Amino acid sequence: MDTSVGLLSSLLCLLLWCLGLLGLGAFGVFLVWLFRRVRQADRAPVSAAEQEKMQAEVDALMSKVRPWRREALADLQATRQVRWMSFGRRARVRGLIAASRSDAERTWAAFALRGRRVYGRPISFEGRAHVRTTAQSFDFEAQPTDLISIQVDHEPLGSIHPDGTLLDPSGQPIGQFPPHPANDQATYPVTLHGRVVARLRNLYHGGLFSFRRQPRPPAVEIIAPDLTLEERDWLLALALWQVVNLAGRQVETGGV
């Protein structure tokens, strides 16, 4: 009798031990599957459905955007009413672009972005951003190569090379701007077609989280007196991209 009970107890312990191993194995397989799914989701390109959602999010914000004026170029300094979600490195951000975080009367654009956050690079995310004023729409695609493709009203404007070279739709260089301006540099020049057309404000001037109140230069200070429509589009695109790229970077630190 004692032998039978002992054998039964041993078998029961062995069964529980085997079930425990199976449970641990299944849990390990689940963790591997989950890790791979997260990595796949992180690296997946922005789908057409996600692009439609971005446009819908911007549509919902446009009632807060003021009618565009040329002098609004100087006001593209900050984000307002930003909402964001992140899972792994995947991020979704939407908000407004204005003169300051509290200035509803000088809010000039709405934006939404989707992408994979990246670190230590000129771009803060790989993915797409949709930005709209009451006059134009801009679409940015930040690629794994750090090249940024730009469309204006669904027509190609060109792209920004990682070294700061501005390229036309055929890939020919037409201008330059510094991709990594120093933090102590308040503004930097933008060259198009062989001439300096404007100076853009460096949004990182003084550091990302600076509590010192400093006089802020305009977001865009036009220097050339006779800008073409293409040059105006480029300056607006660069100013908008600066703010959107910074918004993507601040998601990393919870700073938006």
Sketch the domain layout of the chain as residue ranges. 1-43, 47-253
Could you tell me which of 206, 205, 184, 199 has the C-alpha nearest to residue 238? 199
pLDDT-based confidence at 104, cuts 50/70/90?
confident
pLDDT of residue 142 exceeding 90, the answer is yes
pLDDT of residue 7 exceeding 70, the answer is no
Which of residues 158 and 8 earns the better pLDDT score? 158
pLDDT of residue 138 exceeding 90, the answer is yes
pLDDT-based confidence at 121, cuts 50/70/90?
confident
What pLDDT, on a 0 to 100 scale, did the predictor assign at position 91?
A: 87
Which of residues 132 and 29 earns the better pLDDT score? 132
pLDDT, tens digit, 9 for 90 and up, residues 29-59: 655 545 555 454 445 456 788 888 999 999 9
Contact 173, 150 (CB under 8 A): no
What pLDDT, on a 0 to 100 scale, did the predictor assign at position 94?
A: 94
Strands across the sheet containing 187-192: 78-87, 90-98, 107-117, 125-132, 137-142, 148-152, 155-160, 165-167, 173-176, 187-192, 195-201, 220-222
What pLDDT, on a 0 to 100 scale, did the predictor assign at position 28?
A: 67
pLDDT, tens digit, 9 for 90 and up, residues 187-205: 999 999 999 999 999 887 7
Which of residues 101 and 224 earns the better pLDDT score? 224
pLDDT of residue 129 exceeding 80, the answer is yes
- Mean of pLDDT values over 169-183: 88
pLDDT, tens digit, 9 for 90 and up, residues 157-172: 999 999 999 999 999 9
pLDDT-based confidence at 214, cuts 50/70/90?
low
What pLDDT, on a 0 to 100 scale, did the predictor assign at position 209?
A: 47
Of the listed ranges 28-42, 59-73, 128-142, the one predicted with least confidence: 28-42
The model's pTM is: 0.79
Contact 82, 93 (CB under 8 A): yes
Give the distance, in angstroms, between the CA of residue 197 and the centroid of all CA atoms in the same chain: 26
Q: How many CB atoms lie within 10 A of CB 44?
A: 12
- Mean of pLDDT values over 107-135: 92
Average pLDDT, the chain: 84
pLDDT-based confidence at 25, cuts 50/70/90?
confident
